[in-house]
């Protein structure tokens, strides 16, 4: 991702429903999996480090990202510079590993999945969120450096090769799916909004709140599984005996 996109992202990431919901969903699941413990969490592709800062009340956490700028990033003491395919952490160190919209930026996503597995202890968890459905591909995906959007089958293959088993996997962020599809088609076909992307701005507060609650609810309740969504969320577990 180019630095310009990081700066645009950093202006809205704390409150924008999409970025905030991803972090809130992982925090809910961490509480479920570690109700009486303080897990050690590693975030790959941590961006500016907002999740690392927010989760500090329930976990010991560090992160890595290839981008770092003191103007917008968390202190380097908790955010190291590294590629997701070459994480600077020992094997089997993390109780949980997090990658929120990271592996879609890589030409080859298998090495990144294997790195996430490598640093996670046997029995530990890997949380993945990625953009879903090639149908939603747009100029925004190109601008932020996406190589692909996903369907479930690819994650099944990646996980199996990395020694991970699927705890839960489903499409989420379904509420804005069709509005996004229409809006991105209009922008692509007619140029509407091309110079002022909605993805870079906060929505009106009530819409942002509504989308946030719907996104988090869908991501934290396994019974609510729809066949479509703008994101694909998966919780994977490292098989015992894998090193």
Q: Which tokens is 3 given?
A: 């630095």
Residue 80 has a pLDDT of: 85
Mean pLDDT of the chain: 90
Tokens 């019974």, residue?
223
What is the per-residue pLDDT across 158-214, written as a single tens digit (0 to 9) for each? 999 999 999 999 999 999 999 999 988 888 777 766 666 767 788 899 999 999 999
What separation, in Å, do the N-terminal and C-terminal C-alpha atoms of the chain show? 31
Q: Which tokens is 188 given?
A: 């692509």
Residue 195 has a pLDDT of: 66
What is the per-residue pLDDT across 97-144, written as a single tens digit (0 to 9) for each? 999 999 999 999 999 999 999 999 999 999 999 999 999 999 889 888
- Domain limits, the chain: 3-238
Residue 139 has a pLDDT of: 86
More confident residue, 184 or 237: 237
Burial class of residue 230, CB neighbours in 10 A (0-12, 13-18, 19+): buried
Q: What value does the mean pLDDT take over residues 210-233?
A: 95
Q: Fold for domain 3-238? A: Rossmann fold (3.40.50)
Q: What value does the mean pLDDT take over residues 18-28?
A: 96
């Amino acid at each position: 991702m180019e630095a310009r996109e990081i700066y645009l992202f950093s202006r809205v990431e704390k409150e924008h429903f999409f970025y905030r919901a991803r972090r809130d969903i992982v925090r809910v699941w961490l509480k479920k999996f570690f109700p009486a413990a303080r897990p050690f969490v590693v975030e790959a592709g941590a961006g500016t480090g907002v999740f690392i800062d927010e989760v500090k009340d329930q976990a010991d956490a560090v992160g890595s990202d290839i981008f770092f700028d003191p103007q917008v990033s968390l202190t380097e003491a908790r955010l190291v510079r590294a590629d997701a395919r070459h994480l600077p952490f020992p094997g089997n160190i993390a109780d949980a590993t997090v990658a929120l919209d990271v592996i879609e930026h890589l030409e080859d996503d298998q090495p990144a999945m294997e790195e996430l597995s490598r640093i996670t202890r046997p029995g530990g968890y890997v949380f993945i969120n990625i953009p879903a459905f090639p149908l939603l591909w747009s100029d925004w995906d190109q601008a932020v450096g996406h190589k692909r959007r996903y369907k479930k089958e690819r994650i099944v293959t990646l996980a199996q090769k990395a020694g991970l088993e699927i705890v839960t996997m489903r499409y989420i962020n379904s509420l804005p799916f069709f509005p996004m599809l229409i809006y991105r088609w209009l922008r692509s076909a007619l140029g509407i909004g091309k110079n002022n992307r909605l993805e870079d701005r906060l929505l009106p507060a009530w819409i942002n709140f509504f989308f946030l609650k719907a996104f988090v609810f869908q991501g934290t309740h396994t019974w609510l599984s729809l066949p479509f969504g703008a994101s694909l969320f998966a919780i994977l577990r490292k098989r015992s005996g894998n090193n």
